[in-house]
C-alpha cells in the first residue's frame, strides 16, 4: 500500500548486521498467522529465562524449527547459561542447545563474576558446539548496578572475545543499566558507552515502548533493540521507517543538554551545529580562552556527548563531533 512512499530500511534483508529487532518467547499464546506476517521484522528470538528446562526437548525443537522456517535466529537467555556455568555443565548445555536447534548462546554475569580466562573457555566451548555467542553486560538487580567504568571494562572484555554484539542489560526497564528509576534513558550513560565504542557494537534491551522510541529517535533506524515484546514489533519497525508511534508523543526522549557551566553548553552547541570542528575553530567561533575551551571539551568528552578523532586533512589536529553524528 502506497508503495514507494515509506522510508526503506538500509539493511532490509536478513541476516542483518544493523537495525536488529530481538524479541522474546515466554511461551505466551501465539497467533501464528499474525506472527508469520511480522516475522520479516524479527531478527532474533530469545527463549526466556530457564523455560527450556521445563518443557520437553521435542516441544522445544518444534518451536525452534517454526522460528527457523520464518528466518528468525533463536537464542538462549543468559539465566540458563549462568545456571549451567555454576553447575559445571556448560559443555553439556552447549551440546544439547546445538542439538535442539538453538543458534546463539547468551552469556551474562548478572549473578556470577567471571575472569577473562573463564570467559575465553566459555567462548571456546560454545564455538566448539557450532553455536554463536553474545555477551550481556549488566546486573538484573536494581540494588546492585555497575558504574560506567565497570560497564566499559566488561564491554571491552566482550569485544576482545569477539562477541558479535554486546547486549546491555535492562531487566524490566527500571533502574537498571541505561535506564533510571522512572524508565527514562540516562543519556550521559549511553553517551559514555557510544563514545568508547561504535553504537552498532550494542544491542540495547528496551522493554518499554517509550525506551524503544527514545533510542530510535536518538540513533536512527540502525539501532539494535532487544526485549521488544511481540505486540510492539510493528511499532518498532514503523518508527525505523520514519513514522512516530503514540509512545513517542509527550515523551521527553531526546538527548538532554550537557551538564556543567555555560561554557560547556556553548561549546556543545557549536560542535552540534558546525561539526566536525577543531579546537582552533572552537576558540575562534566562541571567542573564549583556549584553556576554557579545552576544559569544556574535556567535560563534554567525560559526559560522553562528543567524539574526538584525528582530522582527515591534518593528522596533527583533533576534531570534534557529537556522538549522534557518528551513527547517523
pLDDT tens digits along 205-240: 999 999 999 999 888 899 999 999 999 999 999 999
pLDDT for 256 equals 57
Confidence of residue 325 (pLDDT cuts 50, 70, 90): very low
Q: From CA 265, how far away is CA 260, in angstroms rounded?
A: 7
Cβ 78 vs Cβ 107: under 8 Å: yes
pLDDT for residue 316: 77
Residue 265 predicted with pLDDT over 70: yes
- Give yes or no for residue 144 having a pLDDT over 50: yes
Write out pLDDT tens, residues 77-126: 999 999 999 999 999 999 999 999 999 999 999 999 999 999 999 999 99
Q: Evaluate if residue 292 carries a pLDDT over 60.
A: yes
Domains recognised in the chain with CATH numbers: 21-248 (3.20.20.70), 262-327 (1.10.10.10)
309 versus 180: the higher-pLDDT residue is: 180
- Given its phi and psi angles, is residue 282 left (phi above 0), alpha (psi -120 to 50 degrees) or beta? alpha
In the chain, which residue ranges form alpha helices assigned H by DSSP? 32-38, 57-69, 78-86, 90-100, 116-128, 148-160, 187-196, 209-219, 233-240, 262-274, 279-286, 290-302, 323-327
* C-beta of residue 82 within 8 angstroms of C-beta of residue 49: no
Instruction: Say what the pLDDT of residue 75 is.
Output: 97
Chain centroid to CA 39? 20
- How do residues 29-75 score in pLDDT, each as one tens digit? 778 889 999 999 999 999 998 888 988 999 999 999 999 999 999 99
pLDDT attached to residue 2: 64
Closest CA to 328 of 202, 201, 198: 198
Confidence (pLDDT) at 259: 77
Nearest to 24 by CA among 98, 79, 100: 79
pLDDT at 328: 39
Q: Which residues of 301-310 are buried (b: 16+ CB within 10 A; e: fewer)?
A: bbbbbbbbee
**Structural Rg of the chain based on CA atoms:** 21
| Collapsed DSSP state (helix, strand, coil) of residue 21 | strand
Amino acid at each position: 500500500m502506497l508503495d514507494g512512499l515509506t522510508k526503506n530500511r538500509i539493511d532490509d534483508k536478513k541476516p542483518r548486521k544493523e537495525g536488529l529487532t530481538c524479541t522474546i518467547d515466554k511461551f505466551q499464546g501465539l497467533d501464528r498467522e499474525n506472527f508469520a506476517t511480522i516475522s520479516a521484522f524479527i531478527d532474533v528470538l530469545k527463549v526466556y529465562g530457564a523455560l527450556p528446562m521445563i518443557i520437553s526437548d521435542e516441544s522445544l525443537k518444534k518451536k525452534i524449527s517454526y522460528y527457523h522456517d520464518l528466518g528468525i535466529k533463536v537464542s538462549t537467555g543468559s539465566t540458563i547459561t549462568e545456571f549451567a556455568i555454576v553447575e559445571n555443565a556448560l559443555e553439556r548445555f552447549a551440546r544439547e542447545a546445538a542439538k535442539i536447534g538453538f543458534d546463539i548462546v547468551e552469556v551474562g554475569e548478572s549473578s556470577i563474576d567471571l575472569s577473562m580466562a573463564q570467559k575465553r573457555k566459555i567462548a571456546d566451548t560454545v564455538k566448539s558446539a557450532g553455536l554463536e555467542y553474545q555477551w550481556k553486560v549488566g546486573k538484573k538487580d536494581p540494588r546492585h548496578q555497575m558504574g560506567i567504568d565497570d560497564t566499559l571494562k566488561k564491554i571491552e572484555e566482550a569485544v576482545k572475545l569477539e562477541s558479535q554484539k554486546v547486549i546491555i542489560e535492562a531487566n524490566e526497564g527500571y533502574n537498571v543499566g541505561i535506564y533510571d528509576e522512572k524508565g527514562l534513558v540516562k543519556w550521559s550513560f549511553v553517551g559514555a558507552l557510544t563514545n568508547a565504542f561504535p553504537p552498532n557494537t550494542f544491542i540495547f534491551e528496551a522493554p518499554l515502548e517509550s525506551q524503544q522510541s527514545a533510542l530510535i529517535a536518538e540513533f536512527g533506524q540502525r539501532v539494535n533493540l532487544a526485549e521488544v515484546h511481540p505486540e510492539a514489533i510493528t511499532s518498532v519497525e514503523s518508527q525505523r521507517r520514519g513514522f512516530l508511534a503514540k509512545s513517542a508523543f509527550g515523551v521527553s526522549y531526546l538527548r538532554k543538554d550537557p551538564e556543567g557551566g555555560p561554557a560547556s553548553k556553548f561549546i556543545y552547541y557549536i560542535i552540534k551545529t558546525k561539526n566536525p570542528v577543531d579546537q582552533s575553530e572552537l576558540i575562534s567561533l566562541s571567542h573564549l580562552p583556549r584553556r576554557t575551551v579545552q576544559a569544556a571539551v574535556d567535560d563534554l568528552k567525560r559526559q560522553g556527548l562528543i567524539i574526538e578523532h584525528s582530522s582527515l586533512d591534518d593528522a596533527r589536529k583533533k576534531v570534534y563531533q557529537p556522538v549522534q553524528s557518528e551513527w547517523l
